[in-house]
A = this chain, B = another copy of it.
């Protein structure tokens, strides 16, 4: 029996600033069917406030507590571990880290910084790691679908670069970290065995969710999806469907 659904945002609900057709209506249908919903996003180019405003602009009513972002998980992790962040993130995400208390020890926090990934800042971050800083990855996605429709480098390749240089392993906070999926599920009191994930990333969303113990994970052919993705990573999706509207049909038809 399915009681809860986790939805990815970029590539499932919207592409850039544009809503994916049928997405908003699909969310309403899932809610009407009595399913608990949470949004789990690895987008690390926008603050949570911006994400909420974008969703609202598309006609979706979503509260702060409905959306789980790696930045929020990172804040909690930094507070718990008594570390200050050395930020290697997109300027749009920095506000999510503004009011953390001063600490002597640091963690390099790396997200999808885009053009902000220069040799100089990567090298500075590497030297922080050499000096003892921890390495905290908001996400390890390989690619995202860029504004021109092509795939572009996401945070993952740069996490791999810093891991390779420093011989340190990153602590990963966003998808595919099982803790990330489980935190979102716990917030709605839904055990993983009664939950379905819907996403466009066969690795982070799909393989990640199944490894976290979710009962199913649906890959949509929108966003960054490329032909053959469903066979590229293990475990493979429970099903591959056209979009969130089709995923909603699938979930409602099989919910019991």
Contact = CB atoms under 8 A, between A and B. Distances in A.
Contacts of A232: 167
Given A157-B165, A158-B161, A130 B117 contact: no
B164 A122 contact: no
Interface in A70-114: 113-114
A120 B115 contact: yes
Interface of A: 113-120, 122-123, 126-127, 130, 142-143, 150-154, 156-158, 160-165, 167, 232
A203 B139 CA distance: 29
- Please report whether the interface of chain A is mostly helix, strand, loop or mixed according to DSSP: helix
A9 to B, nearest CB: 21
CB-based closest 9 A-B pairs: A157-B161, A160-B164, A161-B161, A157-B165, A117-B119, A160-B160, A157-B164, A115-B119, A142-B165
Copies of the chain in the assembly: 2
Contacts of A117: 118-119, 122
Contacts of A163: 160
Contacts of A158: 161
Contact of A165 (B126, B130, B153): B153
Contacts of A118: 115, 117-119
A84 to B, nearest CB: 22
Nearest to A233: B167
Contacts of A120: 115
A113 B162 CA distance: 16
A127 B142 contact: no
Nearest to A154: B165
Contact of A157 (B115, B116, B153, B162): B162
A153 B142 contact: no
Contacts of A157: 122, 126, 160-162, 164-165
A113 B119 CA distance: 9
A113 B120 CA distance: 12
